Amino acid sequence: MTYEYHPKYPRQKLREVVQKYLQQLAILRRETNCDVSFVQDGRPGTPTARGWLLEGVGPDGAPQRYLLMRDGDVWREAAPPAGKEPPTWLGEPDDDIVSLLAKSLGNARLGGTGFLAAEEQNSIVAADRRTGQMTYQGHERRQADD
């Protein structure tokens, strides 16, 4: 018998996991290491945010990068040679990000880099987070369908 855990609110669970990780990074005095600019009207804007860029390895051994934002959102992109999946915002925690965060904290506590990318010219262009999120449409939604 296999048991798979599926949180009732997956996006909230992802944010909870990431924010706990970021609290631990703050205790270890690790700062943001990446500028973030969001795509607006089909072209990237100027960097407007900062985040933590982690470099990890995917299940197939291909390098992946994860951008963690202060509010708990996570942008995942695979390295260009193995980039089978398009870069995207995660909607729920998966085994890859959870295990990477645990390994990163262990490495940082032992004096390592914590898998944080070197800060030389780190810049990510990410899709606007708001486009993929469904907002609460309220009671008006039912009235409009009639």
pLDDT digits (tens, 9 = 90+) for 93-134: 988 899 999 999 999 999 999 999 887 767 888 887 765 555
Q: Which residue has the higher pLDDT, 16 or 63?
A: 16
Q: What pLDDT sits at residue 81?
A: 57
Q: Which residue has the higher pLDDT, 2 or 96?
A: 96
Say if residue 77's pLDDT is above 90: no
Pairing of strands 43-44, 49-57: unpaired
Residue with tokens 């798979």: 4
DSSP string, 33-79: -EEEEEEETTEE----EEEEEEEEE-TTS-EEEEEE-TTS-EEEEE-
> Is the torsion defined by CA of 94, 97, 100, 105 positive or negative?
negative
Residue percentage of the chain with pLDDT more than 70: 82
pTM score, whole prediction: 0.79
Q: Are 128 and 40 in contact (CB under 8 A)?
A: yes
Averaged pLDDT for residues 13-31: 94
Residue range 132-146, pLDDT digits in tens: 555 555 555 555 444
H or E element, residue 134: none
